[in-house]
Each structure stands twice: as C-alpha cells, then as structure tokens.
Amino acid sequence: MKIAVIGCVIDNPKEINCEFNSIVEDHKDIVVARMGVPMPAENISVLSFIVKGELDRINHLCGILGKIPTVNVKISFSKKEID
C-alpha cells in the first residue's frame, strides 16, 4: 500500500461537478481526506486528496479524473511502502 496526495485543478467546475464527485465517491474506500478551494471569480476549483491504497487503485482514480476534459491532475506518492 501507498500514501499519496492527488492535486486537481478544475476549470469550469460547475460543468463537471456531478461527474467528478461521483468518481470520487466510487473511490471513497481509499480517500483519507479531501480539501477544496473554490475560486469563483476565476471559475476554477482547486482540490487535494490524501489517499491510502494499492498503487493500481490510486492510479485508476487519477486516470479516470484526468480523462475529464476540464480537470488537470497530478499525484505524488510516498516512497515508503505501508501495511
């Protein structure tokens, strides 16, 4: 298992809010914490997730989120393997 932080910058968040939240909900078993900062004047939202899970499961979540046209995703993994 790994610990990672997933960072998302969403352009026009109102357009994909339901789709984005549905995907995150489907992966709630690996989401430890979530922080979001709406920036309505810029029509952008910035979110970060702390996740704990198998490498494949974390990468799967990032891959699905990254396929949404207005979502930019980056991930950083801990080097430490955990139980």
- The answer to whether the predicted template modeling score (pTM) of the entire model surpasses 0.85 is yes
Domain ranges of the chain: 2-77
**pLDDT tens sequence across 14-63:** 999 999 999 999 999 999 999 999 999 999 999 999 999 999 999 999 99
CATH architecture, range 2-77: 2-Layer Sandwich (3.30)
Helix 13-26 vs helix 55-66: angle between axes, to the nearest 10 degrees? 160
Pair of tokens at residue 21: 């939240």
Indicate if the pLDDT at residue 76 is higher than 90.
Answer: yes
Q: Distance (Å, rounded) from C-alpha 8 to C-alpha 26?
A: 17
Q: DSSP characters for 26-82?
A: HTTTTEEEEEEEEETTTTEEEEEEEEEE-HHHHHHHHHHHHTSTTEEEEEEE-SS--
